[in-house]
A and B are shown apart, each in its own frame.
Chain A
Amino acid sequence: MSAHGEIILEAKGISKTFPGVKALDDVSLTLRCGHLTALLGENGAGKSTLMSIIAGVFPPDSGEVILAGTPGSFSNPREAHEAGIAMIFQELNLVSNLTVAENIFLGREPMNRFGFIDTATMNRHAAALLERLDLAVDPATSLGSLRVGQQQIVEIAKAISTDARVLIMDEPTSAITEHEIEVLFGIIGNLKRRGVAIAYITHKLEELTRIGDDAVVMRDGRIVGAAPLKDLTHSTIVNMMVGRETKKISHRASTAPGSEALRVENISLNHPDRPGDFLLRDINFDVRRGEVLGIFGLMGAGRTELLEVIFGLHPASATGSIHIDGQPATIKSPTDAIELGLALAPEDRKREGLVLGMSVAENASLACLPRLERFGFLNEAAERQLVGAAIDRFRVKTPSQKQMIRNLSGGNQQKVILGKWLATEPAVLLLDEPTRGIDVNAKGEIYTLIEELVTDGLAVIVVSSELPEILTLSDHIIVLCEGRKTAEFDRKNADEESIMNAALPKEASKMIKAK
């Protein structure tokens, strides 16, 4: 192995553009043997994209990756893996019905001389790897019977089974328990001593003091700071993460808030796989007519789940009470929620919000067809009128109502979804990441539309992982972290640093536990 501190990998001038978004803009990064480099930044800052390029998941538009002095980027993860770069993704890439050993050696199974898989050798090698990682499981057990943290360690075993020189970890502690985190940190210490360079994406700053050497902070697709960790304090890091030149935000004049539209009390949601754990724990908030409530949280904070509970998607596993217009409400399905005046624009428009095989008109009218019925048939004139009104109101750019919705831009699709819900005359609009994947101009338009709706007396809840968005739109802000509400702000006293502080998990030990 190379000497400690020696440069093993350099990424130079990497740029990458996805449709509508510049994900990376001339980014350079250096990884050193035996060092752990922490990558920090908000969601969407470009951390995962940069790591995916280094690991060969997709090619950069420009720039190069130099491994141990040899330039050349990899065209697929397998090439990168063989060259000694291993990546552990946020979502585990394992096959749960294969055994532990089969997962570790997937695609590289040792063969005997008859061309069959040599299971005995494979299990022996796997057992040796697992012992090094302090995981006491039989390599022949099926992966599905392991807990998530153990599976994570299997993933690490798979990564180091090729003697990786560079190991990339994307939020490895987001799904595992305290003890497993301890084990993982021990493993990381060992790997560092053996000279492996580690790139580590995390939101948990407190973890880093124990394992980290260098920090790189990213924002909006650029690197905004790089320094040894010991030279950085918590607050300087947070400052770098959010410290964009704050644009002058034109916010609508505050109107006097109206009556209470929605109040939720003690909302909890059980974890589907881990009995006794919670995805949401005792959430309370209320929102008034003519007001925007912003809900901020990082990945895994429970933002989407909170909206889903309110919208009746988890009737069996959620507890707590919901009041609409001051009246207690029972919501067991989206149908109930809509009848009570709620509307939800989901985060993933294409998978959850739209029927892509239908036209603009068919999507826009889908939520209120009963109103368009006459003598048991759909009244097409009435439908055209309703859809036309929605297109005008939300300034949807489409050649015609009959245009297939898939041919519209993301911003216009989102406007159609807003139009669809407004036609149901809702009292409360729930917007989950309303501008995800939408270009800057359309973003501004969506903001303007939301503000118009609020001025008309609607109550709006905006869930977002983008701080500027939350600050632009919200009258009140609540912050979620690991399923709990950790802070509440008025617009007057909200600033990026304090919101980000409340959103970052404080210590690993505070992970949600029953009782």
Chain B
Amino acid sequence: MPPRFAKFQSLIALVLMVVAMTLLSDKFLTPDNGWNILRQISVNLCLSIGMTLIILSGGIDLSVGAILALAGAVAAGVLKNGVAIPMFDALLQFTVFGAIVCGIGVGLILGWFNGFVVTRFNIPPFVATLGMFSIARGMTMLWTGGFPITGLGAGFGYPGTGVLLGVPMPVWISVVLVAAFVIITRKTRFGRYLYAVGGNERAALLTGLRVNHIKTWVYTLGGGLAGVAGLIVTSRLDSAQPNAGLGYELDSIAAVVIGGTSLSGGRGTVLGTVLGCLIIGVLNNGLFLLNVSPFWQQIIKGFVILSAVAIDKMNTNKP
């Protein structure tokens, strides 16, 4: 299968990069730095799993960074200030768990709305999620008044900063999600349908698949995973930043594409995306250790994206 081949390629690229960085810097291949990279990519990984599902189904989502910010802000806000209900002159207080549920819920709802707009009004996903990008950014500003919400307490900080069995919590979370979605995409009906809808939507429709239903689920999951990412970011910083996640959607699209998933849908894997995230993470980290200027880092990252897609294209165009 071609996706497997593509995965193989990004694996080679990753190994080559690791070898190169090890030769260039003695600070690179250390356990501390390894955990560091994994912790750094965990947020992008959460976003990118959702992005993989969405791109596999033939869509795209530009709103995940904005949803991440709103989910984090809502969780932080309800935890810190509660929710006032003027009608009953009451103030609802939330536990840490309640706040987490709120954050993920916000992500799921906004994601569902993306799917609803795409399927019900037949609006191209690029445009629909661009709209949501603006909506969620605006709502975040409205909710926070433009100021960070800080001082969230140790309990809330655990998912972002805690360590379990020597492994940082963000890594645990992203590894569990990766495992779950590898199984979902490979072993369940929903996963199979995802590839069918992205591969040939018309054929999927004529085979009796509820195409709109499937797509709505995909965007809902993408939003929910952005919510999880928002919680990790907020928890780690002990602060909900109004402009958190700015540009994260582009990093996650880059990770998906480098991981060999086709932007036209129907072809790609979650594991490929994990490799894509690792490649971006190793690149960022290694270039930082080598004291390469951040401006050069961006340029290099751009060329990595372009060459990944170009190599992929050359392979798939061969008969």
Residues of A with C-beta under 8 A to B188: 373, 376-378
Verify B199–A337 contact, CB threshold 8 A. Answer: no
Verify A378–B189 contact, CB threshold 8 A. Answer: yes
Closest to A380 in B: B187
Given A334-B207, A367-B208, A355 contacting B199 (CB threshold 8 A): yes
Closest to A339 in B: B208
Closest to B191 in A: A378
B residues 178-214 touching A (CB-CB < 8 Å): 183, 187-189, 192-193, 195-196, 199-200, 202-210
Smallest beta-carbon distance B210→chain A, Å: 6
Verify A373–B189 contact, CB threshold 8 A. Answer: yes
Verify B195–A358 contact, CB threshold 8 A. Answer: yes
Tell me the bound Cα distance from A309 to B196 in angstroms: 23
Residues of B with C-beta under 8 A to A369: 189, 192-193
Q: A212-220, A344-352, A448-456: which lies at the B interface?
A: A344-352
Q: Tell me what chain B mostly uses at the interface: helix, strand, loop, or mixed.
A: helix
Closest to B187 in A: A377
A313, A334, A366: the one contacting B196 at CB < 8 Å is: A366
Verify B203–A354 contact, CB threshold 8 A. Answer: yes
Verify A357–B267 contact, CB threshold 8 A. Answer: yes
Residues of A with C-beta under 8 A to B266: 355, 357-358
Given A338-B208, A355-B204, A367-B208, A378 contacting B199 (CB threshold 8 A): no
Verify B206–A378 contact, CB threshold 8 A. Answer: no
A352, A370, A373: the one contacting B206 at CB < 8 Å is: A352
Q: What sequence of 0s and 1s flags, for each residue 330-372 of chain A, a beta carbon within 8 Å of any chain B beta carbon?
A: 0001110111000010100001111111110010001101101
Decide if A476 is an interface residue (CB 8 Å cutoff).
Answer: no
Verify B203–A352 contact, CB threshold 8 A. Answer: yes
Smallest beta-carbon distance B295→chain A, Å: 39
Verify A355–B200 contact, CB threshold 8 A. Answer: yes
Verify A334–B205 contact, CB threshold 8 A. Answer: yes
- Most chain B Cβ neighbours within 10 Å, of A338, A357, A376, A378: A357
Q: How many residues of chain A have a CB within 8 Å of chain B? A: 32
Interface residues on B, range: 20 to 34
B187, B189, B200, B267: the one contacting A354 at CB < 8 Å is: B200
- Most chain B Cβ neighbours within 10 Å, of A351, A366, A376: A366
Decide if A311 is an interface residue (CB 8 Å cutoff).
Answer: yes
- Most chain B Cβ neighbours within 10 Å, of A338, A358, A372: A358
Verify A367–B189 contact, CB threshold 8 A. Answer: no
Verify A346–B196 contact, CB threshold 8 A. Answer: no
Tell me the bound Cα distance from A372 to B204 in angstroms: 17
Verify B200–A356 contact, CB threshold 8 A. Answer: yes
Tell me the bound Cα distance from A333 to B187 in angstroms: 27
Tell me the bound Cα distance from A355 to B210 in angstroms: 16
Tell me the bound Cα distance from A420 to B208 in angstroms: 12
Tell me the bound Cα distance from A389 to B293 in angstroms: 61
Verify B192–A378 contact, CB threshold 8 A. Answer: yes
Verify B192–A362 contact, CB threshold 8 A. Answer: yes
Residues of A with C-beta under 8 A to B207: 334, 338, 366-367, 420
Tell me the bound Cα distance from A334 to B209 in angstroms: 8
Verify A335–B210 contact, CB threshold 8 A. Answer: yes
Verify A378–B187 contact, CB threshold 8 A. Answer: yes
Residues of B with C-beta under 8 A to A378: 187-189, 192
Verify A356–B199 contact, CB threshold 8 A. Answer: yes
Verify B192–A344 contact, CB threshold 8 A. Answer: no
Verify B206–A353 contact, CB threshold 8 A. Answer: yes
Smallest beta-carbon distance B177→chain A, Å: 18
B residues 42-76 touching A (CB-CB < 8 Å): none
Residues of B with C-beta under 8 A to A352: 200, 202-203, 206
A356, A358, A359, A370: the one contacting B189 at CB < 8 Å is: A370
B195, B205, B206, B209: the one contacting A357 at CB < 8 Å is: B195
Tell me the bound Cα distance from A404 to B196 in angstroms: 14
Tell me the bound Cα distance from A418 to B305 in angstroms: 42
Residues of A with C-beta under 8 A to B192: 362, 366, 369, 378
Verify A311–B199 contact, CB threshold 8 A. Answer: no
Residues of B with C-beta under 8 A to A358: 195-196, 199, 266
Residues of B with C-beta under 8 A to A344: 206
Verify A335–B208 contact, CB threshold 8 A. Answer: yes
Residues of A with C-beta under 8 A to B210: 333, 335
Verify A337–B196 contact, CB threshold 8 A. Answer: no
Residues of A with C-beta under 8 A to B200: 351-352, 354-357
B1, B204, B206: the one contacting A346 at CB < 8 Å is: B206
Q: What sequence of 0s and 1s flags, for each residue 260-273 of chain B, a beta carbon within 8 Å of any chain A beta carbon?
A: 00000011000000
Tell me the bound Cα distance from A378 to B206 in angstroms: 21
Verify B206–A355 contact, CB threshold 8 A. Answer: no
B residues 1-42 touching A (CB-CB < 8 Å): 1-2
Tell me the bound Cα distance from A376 to B180 in angstroms: 13
Smallest beta-carbon distance B283→chain A, Å: 29
- Most chain A Cβ neighbours within 10 Å, of B187, B202, B207: B207
Verify A334–B208 contact, CB threshold 8 A. Answer: yes
Tell me the bound Cα distance from A82 to B180 in angstroms: 62
Given A369-B189, A370-B189, A378-B187, A355 contacting B208 (CB threshold 8 A): no
Closest to A369 in B: B189
Tell me the bound Cα distance from A370 to B190 in angstroms: 10
Verify A351–B202 contact, CB threshold 8 A. Answer: yes
Closest to B266 in A: A357
Tell me the bound Cα distance from A405 to B233 in angstroms: 44
Tell me the bound Cα distance from A366 to B207 in angstroms: 7
Tell me the bound Cα distance from A306 to B202 in angstroms: 18
Given A366-B192, A377-B188, A378-B188, A357 contacting B199 (CB threshold 8 A): yes
Closest to B189 in A: A369
Tell me the bound Cα distance from A344 to B199 in angstroms: 19
Tell me the bound Cα distance from A404 to B316 in angstroms: 14
A residues 49-97 touching B (CB-CB < 8 Å): none
Residues of A with C-beta under 8 A to B189: 369-370, 372-373, 378
- Most chain B Cβ neighbours within 10 Å, of A334, A344, A355, A378: A355
Tell me the bound Cα distance from A339 to B1 in angstroms: 32
Closest to B262 in A: A357
Smallest beta-carbon distance A343→chain B, Å: 9
Smallest beta-carbon distance A429→chain B, Å: 14
Tell me the bound Cα distance from A313 to B203 in angstroms: 12
Tell me the bound Cα distance from A367 to B267 in angstroms: 20
Tell me the bound Cα distance from A337 to B206 in angstroms: 10
Tell me the bound Cα distance from A311 to B37 in angstroms: 53
B2, B183, B187, B195: the one contacting A355 at CB < 8 Å is: B195
A residues 437-474 touching B (CB-CB < 8 Å): none
Smallest beta-carbon distance A202→chain B, Å: 31
Closest to A370 in B: B189
Q: Please give me the 7 A-B residue pairs with the lowest Cβ-Cβ distance, nearest first.
A: A338-B208, A355-B199, A357-B199, A355-B200, A369-B189, A335-B208, A357-B266
20 residue pairs bridging A and B, Cβ less than 8 Å apart:
A335-B208, A335-B209, A337-B208, A338-B207, A338-B208, A339-B208, A351-B200, A354-B203, A355-B199, A355-B204, A356-B200, A357-B2, A358-B195, A359-B1, A366-B192, A367-B207, A367-B208, A373-B189, A377-B183, A402-B1
Instruction: List 10 extra interface pairs beyond A355-B200, A358-B196, CB under 8 A.
Output: A313-B206, A351-B200, A353-B206, A357-B266, A359-B1, A369-B189, A369-B193, A376-B188, A377-B183, A420-B207
- Name B residues whose Cβ lies closer than 8 Å to a Cβ of A: 1-2, 183, 187-189, 192-193, 195-196, 199-200, 202-210, 266-267
- Name A residues whose Cβ lies closer than 8 Å to a Cβ of B: 311, 313, 333-335, 337-339, 344, 346, 351-359, 362, 366-367, 369-370, 372-373, 376-378, 402, 404, 420
